[in-house]
Amino acid sequence: DVKVTQSSRYLVKRTGEKVFLECVQDMDHENMFWYRQDPGLGLRLIYFSYDVKMKEKGDIPEGYSVSREKKERFSLILESASTNQTSMYLCASSFLAGAGEQFFGPGTRLTVL
Amino acid sequence: GNSVTQMEGPVTLSEEAFLTINCTYTATGYPSLFWYVQYPGEGLQLLLKATKADDKGSNKGFEATYRKETTSFHLEKGSVQVSDSAVYFCALKRGAGNNRKLIWGLGTSLAVNP
């Protein structure tokens, strides 16, 4: 089974802190994605990566950056956390070829105080 | 542009009722279509998919048929259970070119009462 793991299920940080969210997948997928999920807004893509050291902005990249130094790991960075970044963060991965189905981690619920 | 529209929730049903969650899409070319499910406190998981017109995806008693003429991919289940309570997301991936992203609907919350 494909496994996507995220470093924390719950995280509480203070405004202005630098926050790292880590995601690891074990199926050698080329593509990795970071979403945030908010009530009434569905899933919104923050960034995605299609190869090591390659990244593209999604729909809401402002206030975020990403890092992909190894194929299996994709990190989301909040340089200076703000209260409006309180959200559920979901990581996903997929093969480059294929129908495009994405495999998700369990999510990290981040609260910024 | 490309988009996915789902019926708004929440949907509340009694156990053993028939379920339909509507999903329509706008896309150029020949997209692949997906239904994902998110159980409380968990990430999303793929429920079923269809990659070409008239395909029927099915899993766990759920079905959806890719209807190009009506640009729809409605999710159905003949008899829901309490354990089906979750949020359901419809999504599409454009078929043309090297496109990796999914276009998502907003999700439909389903609550099944015993």
Contact A50 B100 (CB under 8 A): yes
The count of other CB atoms within 10 Å of the CB of residue A14 is 11
Q: Does position B3 have pLDDT exceeding 80, yes or no? A: yes
Which chain A residue has its CA at the smallest distance from B91's CA?
A: A101
Nearest CA to A106 out of B39, B26, B96 is that of: B39
Position A5 scores a pLDDT of: 96
Residues of B in contact with A4 (CB under 8 A): 43
Chain centroid to Cα A63, Å, comes to 13
Position B28 scores a pLDDT of: 82
Tokens 């999903």, located at residue? B23
Strands (E), A1-113: 4-6, 10-13, 19-25, 31-38, 42-51, 54-57, 64-70, 73-78, 87-94, 103-104, 108-112
Contact A101 B104 (CB under 8 A): no
Tokens 């963060």, located at residue? A89
User: Mean pLDDT throughout B42-54?
Assistant: 93
Model confidence pLDDT, tens digit, residues B79-89: 999 999 999 99
Omega before B10 cis (within 30°)? Answer: yes
Contact B43 A104 (CB under 8 A): yes
Residues of B in contact with A106 (CB under 8 A): 42-43
Q: Does position A2 have pLDDT exceeding 70, yes or no? A: no
Model confidence pLDDT, tens digit, residues A30-85: 999 999 999 989 999 999 998 898 999 999 999 999 999 999 999 999 999 999 99
pLDDT band at A106; cut points 50, 70, 90: very high
